[in-house]
């Protein structure tokens, strides 16, 4: 069975986006950017919700061709394009860049993908991850906490109808006071 990991940048007060979808508070250091890039490089299949797809897909497919692109941005763009992706959406009509679209039951498809062969699965996007969380499909949580309070916006976690017990397996501090905490789901 493939492992499913939910990893996101999050504010100290628990938001992945500030009001209006503002992500400006989560600009990564070079070291953190490289860490995210290495995760993309190791991902067997990335599962995206529509809003996350809409924030990533306009930029990363051609970011390596932009004037002033750094070697790290060039590497990330290549890895992002090459990484197989699935976008879950009932309103998006087309996807590109090694991506397929799923318009049906997300939980059923994620369950099917987990049971299949291949490398690890990463899931991103609050709404999609919430569905997988409620269904008990997420094996690992990676919270990259930035030292900022944004006061509202998109919460990283939904309201749950039951507890999910976790076991801390890693912590790491990045420049600027950003802290990674990695948890495994207790079975």
pTM attached to this predicted model: 0.92
- Per-residue pLDDT reduced to its tens digit, 136-167: 999 999 999 999 999 999 999 988 888 999 99
- Per-residue pLDDT reduced to its tens digit, 68-125: 999 999 999 999 999 999 999 999 888 988 999 999 999 999 999 999 999 999 999 8
Question: What is the Cα 86 distance to its own chain's centre?
Answer: 12
Residues 6+ apart with CB under 8 A from 187: none
- On the CB side of 177, CA atoms within 13 Å amount to 6
SS3 call for 184: strand
């Amino acid at each position: 069975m493939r492992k499913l990991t939910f990893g996101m940048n999050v504010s100290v007060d628990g938001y992945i986006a500030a009001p209006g979808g503002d992500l400006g508070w989560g600009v990564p250091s070079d070291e953190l950017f490289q860490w995210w890039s290495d995760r993309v490089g190791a991902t067997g299949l990335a599962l995206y919700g529509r809003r996350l797809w809409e924030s990533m897909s306009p930029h990363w497919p051609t970011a390596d061709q932009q004037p002033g692109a750094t070697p790290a941005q060039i590497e990330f763009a290549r890895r992002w394009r090459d990484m197989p992706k699935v976008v879950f959406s009932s309103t998006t009509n087309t996807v590109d860049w090694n991506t397929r679209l799923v318009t049906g039951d997300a939980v059923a498809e994620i369950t099917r993908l987990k049971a299949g062969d291949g490398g690890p699965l990463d899931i991103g996007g609050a709404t999609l991850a919430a569905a997988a969380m409620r269904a008990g499909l997420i094996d690992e949580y990676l919270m990259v906490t930035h030292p900022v309070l944004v006061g509202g916006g998109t919460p990283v976690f939904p309201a749950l109808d039951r507890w999910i017990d976790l076991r801390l397996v890693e912590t790491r501090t990045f420049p600027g006071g950003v802290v990674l905490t990695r948890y495994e789901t207790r079975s």
